[in-house]
Copies of this chain bind each other. A is one copy, B any other.
Amino acid sequence: MSGPLHLTVDKTSPVPLYHQVAQGLEDAIRSGELPPGTKLDNEIDLANRLNLSRPTMRKAMDQLVRAGLLVRKRGVGTQVVGPQVRRSLELTSLHEDLQRSGGNPSTDVLDFARVPADSEVALLLGIAPGDEVYHLVRLRGTDGAPLALMENWIPCSLCELTREQLEQNGLYSLMRGQGVNFQLAHQRVGAVSADAFQAEQLGVEPGAALVSMHRTAMDDLGRPVETGRHVYRADKFTFELTLVQR
C-alpha cells in the first residue's frame, strides 16, 4: 500500500529536513493522496528513498503520530488514521476565531480603565491586591449582531493598552505585539441565565441561556498575564474541542 508518493526535500533550505518531510506527509494525508487506512512503507525504506537517515525520518513521523494523523504498531507498521482529526485544541482569541470563520467582527469598548486589583483578581493574576490592572468590558459582534460580552483584567505592568487600539485589534494580538508570549490558558466553560444587563447588551430575553467562560492565560514562564469572564449567546456560539488520548 505505497510506492508512488513523490516527496522531495531541499537539503539547502534553512527549514529542517524533518519538518519538510512531516509537512509533505501531512499534505499528502490531508489532500487524500494517502487515504485513511493506508499502510506506509517502513521507516528505513522511506529514509533511504529520501536520502535521509532513519532518525530524521522517524522524527518527522513522530510529529504526525503526536498530531494523531498516523498510528504506529511495533512489529507491524505505520498506518494513516484519517483527516477527521481536524485542528486540535489551540490557544486562540475569540477575535481570531471570528476572522477565520469569515464573519465581520466588530468591537465595542464599553469600559476601559486602570483600577486597583481586588483580592479575587489579584489572586488569579498572582499580584498583590491594589496593584494596578486594566479593566475592560467589551461587546463583540459579527455582522452587526451582538455575540459576546467580555470582561477582562490585565496587569498594567505587562503592557500599554489604549481604548483606540482595542477597538481595532484583538486583545491577544496587542499583547503579543508587546512581547507577551502566551503559553497556555486554563478555562472553565459552563452555562448561566442572562441577567438584565447581559440580556440588554446581547439582545436576548432576561433568563435566556448563555455560554459562560472563565479564563486565565499564562506566558512561557508560567506567570498569569490575563484573566477574564466572558458570556456568549448560546444560539450563536459553542466551544469546539478535540480531546486526545495520550
Residues of A within 8 A of B (CB): 36-37, 66, 68, 71, 79, 81-82, 84-86, 89-91, 182-193, 207-212, 218, 220-222, 224, 234, 237-246
Contacts and interface: CB of A to CB of B under 8 A. Distances in A.
Chain A residues touching B, majority SS: strand
Contact of A183 (B81, B186, B192, B211): B81
Contacts of A91: 243-245
A245 to B, nearest CB: 4
A184 B221 contact: no
Copies of the protein in its oligomer: 2
Contacts of A89: 89, 241, 243-244
Contacts of A79: 221
Contacts of A86: 186
A68 B241 contact: no
A183 B222 contact: no
14 contacts: A36-B221, A68-B183, A71-B183, A84-B224, A85-B222, A182-B245, A183-B245, A186-B241, A187-B240, A187-B242, A190-B191, A192-B234, A209-B209, A241-B241
